[in-house]
Amino acid sequence: MIGHPQDDAELPALVRRYVMPERRYLKLGGSMLRTRGPEYDRFVRDLRHDAGLITAGEIATLLEGGWRERRTAAWLVAVSRRTEFRERLGELLLASEVCCVGPAYSVSLASFGTAHDADLLAAYLDRFLRRPDLAYDQTMAMGALQFIDLDLGGDQADRFLGPGGLWQQWLQDAAHMRPHTDPLPSFLSLIRRLCAFVDECAEAG
């Protein structure tokens, strides 16, 4: 896609405004759960403020950027409950063109928490659990899918988790995994904590 001059100028401005302050892009994930006190309160307040301030067009622009921009945009989508970006996040997760962003997409979809979000996560898992050579975001996506299933009483995760299912095959064949140790409980717990953080930001005044 050929960019326009104004687009070239817009992205750096958005990065300065939303991505770089206090290195936000690095904290959006598990590291912010270890933050305490006034720093944590400020982080929640500022993220909530920017999620309300950023426009849909600006989010779309950030989602065309690199991993820092996309990670930040996905979190701003989650905190602002911009469910109109659901399909776009699902497309980006499935494409997996950029590293370090899949967990943010997974958290956003889990925070929306509908059956359709589960469908998008399942589509990703259908593709990438068949690729044990690719150490992508299978664990976070599976944690997000199970999180939604437990909340809705759904069964999307069951077809992956049963004996001989894709999850067990992937654990067995992926060189970076330990086949006799299922990491899913840890990632489900992480997704639960990150979605609670999203709720806290969304509800903060």
Question: What residues have CB less than 8 Å from 205, skipping those under 6 apart?
Answer: none
Structural domain tally of the chain? 1
Token representation of residue 111:
């925070």
Predicted confidence band of residue 7 (pLDDT cuts 50, 70, 90):
low
Residues 77-127: pLDDT tens digits?
A: 999 999 999 999 999 999 999 999 999 999 999 999 999 999 999 999 999
Residue 62 is predicted with a pLDDT of 97
Residue 169 has pLDDT above 70, yes or no: yes
Cβ atoms of 50 and 25 within 8 Å: the answer is no
Alpha-carbon distance of 154 to 158, in angstroms, equals 9
Residues 31-49: pLDDT tens digits?
A: 888 888 999 999 999 999 9
* Angle between helical axes of 184-203 and 67-79 (0-180°, round to 10): 60
Alpha-carbon distance of 189 to 44, in angstroms, equals 20
Structural domain of residue 190, as residue ranges?
5-203
Alpha-carbon distance of 31 to 63, in angstroms, equals 22
Q: In the predicted model, what is the mean pLDDT of residues 164-188? A: 88
